[in-house]
Structure formats: C-alpha cells, structure tokens
Chains A and B, each alone.
Chain A
C-alpha cells in the first residue's frame, strides 16, 4: 500500500547509492556467541540429512562449502566442520541493530533481507565529502558496535552498488580467507568501464534460463549486451526482459530506494562517554536526540504514531518503553513530551549508558489542522521549517534548541551519523 511505504529521490547521477551486505552474517553472529570457533570451519543450516547450508564461515568456504549446498555434501567436504542449527530470532535481533545503524545515516534504507540493504545517502552528503567515506564509517560502526564486518558497494544507481559489493567481499581460498577491500566505489563516469567486462549472468534479472538464451545468441559479457540493438534483444528475450537488460547494460537503473515503513522506524541512539543518572542531563540528551529524529522524519516526509524510548543501564540491561499517539507526528515537541513522560517513569539511579529515541508506524503525515499555537510558533510547522532552512544553508550546528546552548561552546546538536557509541571527548 502506497501510504505505508515511501521512496527516496530518483537517481540523479550523484554517487550516493550504497549496497551493504553483511559478511557471512549467520555464521558471524554465531561466532560472536562462540568466539572459540573463530578459526574452525563453521556451517549454519539444517543439520539433518536433508538440510541445506544457510551460511558458511570463510574457513568453511575454503573447503568448498557454500550456502544452498546440501548439508550431507558439506559434511563429506569437511567432516570436522562445526554444524550449527540456525537461530533466526537471534539473527533478526542483531539485524535490527545493524539496520538501526543504517537508519542513523539516512532515512532511506531498503532492507533486502536480514543481512543486506540498499541505502540512499545522498541527503547525508552535505556534512561529508564523499559517499565512500560514509560507507567506511558504516563499516567501522558496525564492526565496533556489533563486532561484525560487512561489504559495501557504492555507485550512482542501485544495481551497480550491488555489483560493486561483490568486488568488496572477502573471498575464500585454499589458504584461508582473503580480506576484501570492504568498500568498492564505482565512480560516476566509470560505470560502463566497471560493468562491461563482467559476465552478463551477473546482471540483476538474468537467471539460468535467460543466461542460456544470451549464450545462444553469442552474448557473454555485459559489454556484448550493451552492443546489441534493442530490437534484437527484445526478439530474443521478450520485450520486457530485453528492454530491462538493455537499460542495465547501459548502467541505467531508475529505481529509488523504497522504504517499507510498516516495520520501519526512524530513530537515534547514543552511548554516553560515562553513565548518566542526573535527570536534567538525561533530559538534555533526550532533547538532542528528539531534535535529530524529528528532522529526519521531516526530511523523509513521514510521520509516526509509535514513539519509543530505549534505555541501556550501566549493567547493560536494556529496556524499551513506548507510547502510541492518536495522530502520526513529525513534530519535535510532541516526540519530546512523549519521550520525557516515558523517561520520567524509568528509574535512572543505576546509571544510563545509552539512550535511544525512535518513531515507528510510519506513514505519510495526514492532513493536520493547524492551530493558533502553530501560528504563534509553538508547534512544528513554520519554526521547524525555518530551522531546517537555516541548517541547510549554514550547516547543522547553526541553530538548535536553546536548551542545548552553553556559553562559549559550540552548539551540541546531534547530527545524523554522529558516533553512536560515544564521543571521545569526556569533557563534554
């Protein structure tokens, strides 16, 4: 349904589409719990006779084990491998934390599965020079926060980003895993040079059958495909597939990043440099986060009804409290009053290590009856729009809530992508 999904902007030639793929995700998750298996060949999947491999560690891959291989074959290839049954709930939990890192960078996140997503980071480029830098930051954050590695392809369109990820991936070899570059960038203008030498079968939408047809008409590489006139392709493959591949072979992919907001949220969380138990300090941190979340909601053109507060205590116990409001909101003051009420009910004496705010049940903002409070500048509307205009022009820290201002110090506003595991300056 159109009212629960939203799209990013169409590609415009700017380098900003990322494809992130977690490296051997299920196995890596298992290794987090059982680090002693790091040097062993580990296989996750159906452990019975009729099971198949869901994921194999890079050590296991050097024995020729790969996903979708029958487990019985995998056992013959590597009898001493450790076979683990899958734990989907656990992987989903790790995945949601990884996706939250993406959501910190951009509202435009399109998960393809638990371990794979497209991101459109063009909106975040203002604060940084390059998409590649954002990609490296994402890798660093996921490694630091979750202890997991991922590979990221960066390009001007979606499918090229996905192909680029393959270049960045670690590879298995007889002598063990070979680390990949982690990030591979297809620079604007280099799209065809990157694409054309590749086998046509690597293109999105080319399955075994289409692959055979292409081979039959003498097409091996994507370059061969690009050289074909469109009518010859449509004659051989049918009009829809032919036109589709013709577009791709010329590096054209008009798809935006599509966010299915039903299960999505926009949020922000931060681990503090030291544990906080002073309510006034926590409340200040909360305002920073609410400000960031409201800005991102507004930029994404969405509003949400469920507002969630996440608190992780000194001892790492984590609780979440949420409230659902009557009308979807993207207003900072609504999110703030809701989260403040939630925080007021939580005992913070233990010391708070991390605070997070998120808004979910996203959809298009519905028609909103303005009030004189809005006209007087008490609501979102004009004030927030003006704030955003100022930030767009003069930078993110040019303006912010007065509660965040302190004499002689720069404004302490939260910028999307700011380090989530805590700033290094302890004297903040």
Chain B
C-alpha cells in the first residue's frame, strides 16, 4: 500500500479539520471511523470523515506523486499537521505507516487498514442550487431550537418543507420552536418535506463561509450539500415531525415591542442572577418592561427596559438561554413578543420580517 503527495501545510490542515468534524469522537462500533480516509488521484486529494450518519468530504489540489488510498487516525494526523511549521509537507504511505515530513520534523504514524472503512452512501437526486448566504442565515435561525436529545430523534432534525411560496425550515426541542420561511426558494417538490439532522446543517453552516451557492441533492435517504470543495452528506431522519402549526396560538392579546439589541443586552445582564435553572421574569405593563432574576441565597437583578406594551399587565418567566437564543436570531432591529398568559407559549418575531417566528414555552413558577 502506498501513496505519495506534497502540499502546503495550511491546505492539509483545512481539509483535515473540515473532514474531521464528521468523525465520531465517541468511539462507536467501528473503530475505523476514528480515522479520515485520504484518496489521491492525480493531483486531487479527497479527504473523508464520517460517523455513518454524517459524512464530510473535502477535495483539494496537491502535488501528486503516487495515487493511492489510506486511512489515518483523524485527531492525531490533524494535530500533527497543525503543529508543523508553515510550508510544504510531504506525506508518503509505505506499508503500515504514514511518514509526514516537514523539515526538520518527521513523523511516522501507523495507518488504519483501508478495507475496514465502510462504503458510504451518497445522495443521488437532481442537483438544485440555493443562495448560500440566505440558506446559512436560515439555518442559524432554526438550528438552536432543535433538540440534542437522542431519545427524541425526530426533534434532533430540522424540518425542510415545501410551502406555497417557498421553503420553510422548522425546528423544535419541545420547549421552543423556530420557523423560518425562505420565500422563492423552491428546491423541493410540491408538498415534499424532509427531516435533516440539525448537526449536519450546523456543520454546513460552518463550511459555507463566503460561498455564493450551495448545491443540494436529495436522495431517498440522504441529502448532500456541496459548497465549493466541501460536500456534507447526511442521512435523513425518518418519521413524522410534530404538527407544529397547532402549537402557535392564533390570538395573542398582549404585545410587547422592544429594541432587539437593548433587550438582548438586558437579558444577558439579568441572566447572571438567574442561576440553578431559575428563570428570568418579564414583567410587562403600560410602564414598559421590567426584567427580574432572583436566585435564592445568591442575589437578584432588576432592569427596566424601554418598551411599548399593549395588553393586560402580565409577568411571564422564561429560561434565559432559550430567550436569548430567540432574540439573537430574530432578524431586524425591533422585535415583538406576543403573549397570552404566563403558561401559554409566547411568540417572538421581528416587527419588519414576517418570515421568522420563535415560539417559546414559559417556565412555570409555583
């Protein structure tokens, strides 16, 4: 087994770290998945990392010497590459070892048998293109509300659904719900919907950078996103996403309008005294908004926030992290928080962008 090439250190580091993000850190059933697969054809090096659900592949230009395939321990090779001096690196696979030379440093690393690396699925549907920056912004708006609890796999996904006038992204962890509409984006068939793991979208968001376009291929079971030299392939989640439409109250009697940055700063301050899973309270009245946090035996924080409020005097308590997540991703300078009472879901939206909704369940304080 052999393979030989030379490349710039930075090229190697970038490829390894991008592909390495799909590599499982949890040492699953297949030890080989702790490795990255490197394949050289001519001057084209393809680096692949996968945990079977998520696969990230990066293609880079190198100075090829001898075509071949090898699997190297992901974390180690990545750490080694990063530690080298800037400049050219020579990599040569000989039998069971990979020699990495960047004078005066020289490493020899035991490779992982190539034939253990599994055949990875790929998405084979027709290619459609997406506006990269708009899609990335949409991902960032919904990704946090997705669950990270593997016990509820469906909620770890982001729903991508075809709506009348475009594409809709929805996520919920059962405590909050994000909805983002991308008008005019018609990448799905009529009525089509897919459930994409939020982890894959988060990785996609990272690699988008300043790219203009994302190419999407939707297969039966997989979705592939191509951004420049990077391809993110993910298994789709099977199952029915909850009927989120029914959760959004049709009528909110109370509405608070407030400057987004002002509220964000205030909640971040007050949150310091909302420890041990105590909530931040929003006391809303015609006087405006007051934020209160009290942690027993620790202390309390109050802040009056300039805001306009229409409705009955009401105090609602929220998990400050969930509230901040919503305020952070809401578009525009001004947000509206609509409430029914202290136990019903509150709706956070932008006052000038109807295409974003963040629905948040309060904390019940007895």
Contacts and interface: CB of A to CB of B under 8 A. Distances in A.
Interface of A: 3, 301, 364-376, 381-382
A375 B364 contact: no
Contact of A364 (B177, B317, B361, B366): B366
A369 B361 contact: yes
Contact of A381 (B277, B296, B364): B364
14 contacts: A365-B366, A366-B277, A366-B366, A367-B365, A367-B366, A368-B364, A372-B174, A372-B177, A372-B247, A372-B361, A374-B361, A375-B344, A375-B345, A375-B361
B363 interface: yes
Nearest to B364: A368
B308 interface: no
B247 A369 contact: no
Interface of B: 172, 174-175, 177, 242, 246-247, 277-279, 296, 317, 319, 343-345, 361-366
Contacts of A366: 277, 366
Contact of B317 (A367, A372, A373): A367
A208 B93 CA distance: 98
B366 A301 contact: yes
A367 B278 contact: yes
A23 B125 CA distance: 84
A36 B253 CA distance: 75
A102 B327 CA distance: 51
Given A366-B277, A376-B247, A371 B365 contact: no
B364 A367 contact: yes
Nearest to B274: A367
A374 B174 CA distance: 9
Given A301-B366, A364-B366, A371 B361 contact: yes
Closest 8 CB pairs of A and B: A370-B361, A365-B366, A371-B174, A368-B364, A367-B363, A372-B174, A369-B363, A367-B365
Contacts of B361: 369-372, 374-375
Nearest to B177: A372
A370 B362 contact: yes
A250 to B, nearest CB: 36
B323 to A, nearest CB: 12
B131 to A, nearest CB: 31
Given A375-B247, A375-B361, A376-B247, A370 B343 contact: yes
Contacts of A375: 247, 344-345, 361
Nearest to B243: A376
A381 B343 contact: yes
B154 to A, nearest CB: 13
Contacts of B246: 376
A367 B366 CA distance: 7
Contacts of A365: 366
Nearest to A3: B296
Nearest to A364: B366
Given A367-B363, A367-B366, A372-B172, 11 more contacts: A3-B296, A366-B277, A366-B366, A367-B277, A368-B364, A369-B363, A370-B343, A371-B175, A372-B177, A372-B345, A376-B246
A388 to B, nearest CB: 14
Given A367-B277, A367-B278, A382-B343, A372 B175 contact: yes
A369 B364 CA distance: 6
A377 to B, nearest CB: 11
Contacts of A369: 175, 277, 319, 361, 363-364
A427 B279 CA distance: 51
Given A372-B345, A381-B343, A367 B175 contact: no
Contact of B364 (A301, A364, A370): A370
Contact of B363 (A368, A376, A382): A368
A381 B172 CA distance: 20
A373 to B, nearest CB: 6
A95 B81 CA distance: 72
A301 B364 CA distance: 13
B258 to A, nearest CB: 22
Nearest to A365: B366
A375 B174 CA distance: 10
Contacts of A376: 246-247
Contacts of B344: 375
A301 B365 CA distance: 12
A370 B363 contact: yes
B195 to A, nearest CB: 17
Contacts of A381: 343, 364
A369 B343 CA distance: 10
Contacts of A3: 296
